[in-house]
């Protein structure tokens, strides 16, 4: 099993995509990359802790290759907007990758290089030192699956899931209700 720690805006979005990905055994929403020793949603959202909203994605590379997980990351958020994803603004919504070792860093940089050629604007995705990962409050875990009718889910997450379906359908294993 492998684990990638990735930040691409609101953690609910990446969580929703990776929850539907074959070979992913767990997606944990949390906070990383900051200096506050006890970050909480309200303080992180205030932009005063240095943390990014991130997910720790654990997956089986024999089922879903590393590059597919990273391709999904770069496809389902905008890695060209600094500290912003749509209406979500602040350093907590930055595009960032937190490699856990030198091999992951090389893999992450290679993936970013591939996607840098596909976007018209420069990528602003940062490569940050591994940091403590703080699990977000329970309400933030598996958010989309529990609240699919919420406004944020409909307006922000649904289009990201549609994009994932368009490009990565062979890697997705969605509930039957979502396939119809």
pLDDT surpasses 60 at 180:
no
Q: Assign 161 to helix, strand or coil.
A: helix
Residue pair 22/169 in contact by the 8 Å Cβ criterion? no
Confidence of residue 176 (pLDDT cuts 50, 70, 90): very low
Q: Which DSSP state fits 4?
A: E
Give 150's pLDDT tier (boundaries 50, 70, 90). very high
What was the pLDDT predicted at 87? 86
Terminal alpha carbon distance of the chain: 31
What is the per-residue pLDDT across 75-128, written as a single tens digit (0 to 9) for each?
999 999 999 998 889 999 999 999 999 999 999 999 999 999 999 999 999 999
- Give just the sign of the alpha carbon dihedral 16, 138, 44, 107: negative
> 8-65: per-residue pLDDT in tens?
999 999 999 999 999 999 999 999 999 999 999 999 999 889 999 999 999 999 999 9
Q: Is 10 a catalytic residue?
A: yes
Catalytic residue among 10, 13, 45, 153: 10
Q: Per-residue pLDDT averaged across 161-179, rounded?
A: 81
Residue among 47, 54, 45, 40 nearest 7 (CA): 54
Say if residue 179's pLDDT is above 60. Answer: no
The SS3 assignment for 94 reads coil
- pLDDT (average), residues 131-155: 95
pLDDT of residue 175: 59
- pLDDT bucket at 173, cuts 50 / 70 / 90: confident
Q: Look over the chain and give the mean of its residue pLDDT values, rounded to a whole number.
A: 94
Question: Does residue 178 surpass a pLDDT of 60?
Answer: no
């Amino acid at each position: 099993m492998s684990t990638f720690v990735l930040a691409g805006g609101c953690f609910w979005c990446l969580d929703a995509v990776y929850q539907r990905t074959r070979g992913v055994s767990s997606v944990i929403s949390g906070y990383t990359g900051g200096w506050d020793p006890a970050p909480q949603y309200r303080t992180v959202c205030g932009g005063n802790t240095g943390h990014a909203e991130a997910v720790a994605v654990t997956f089986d590379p024999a089922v879903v290759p590393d590059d597919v997980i990273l391709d999904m990351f770069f496809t389902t958020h905008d890695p060209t907007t600094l500290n912003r994803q749509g209406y979500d603004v602040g350093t907590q919504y930055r595009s960032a990758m937190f490699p856990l070792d030198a091999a992951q860093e090389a893999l992450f940089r290679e993936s970013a290089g591939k996607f840098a050629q596909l976007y018209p604007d420069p990528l602003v995705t940062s490569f940050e030192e591994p940091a403590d990962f703080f699990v977000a409050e329970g309400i933030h875990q598996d958010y989309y699956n529990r609240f699919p009718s919420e406004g944020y889910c409909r307006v922000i997450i649904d289009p990201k899931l549609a994009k994932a379906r368009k490009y990565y359908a062979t890697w997705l294993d969605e509930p039957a209700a979502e396939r119809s």
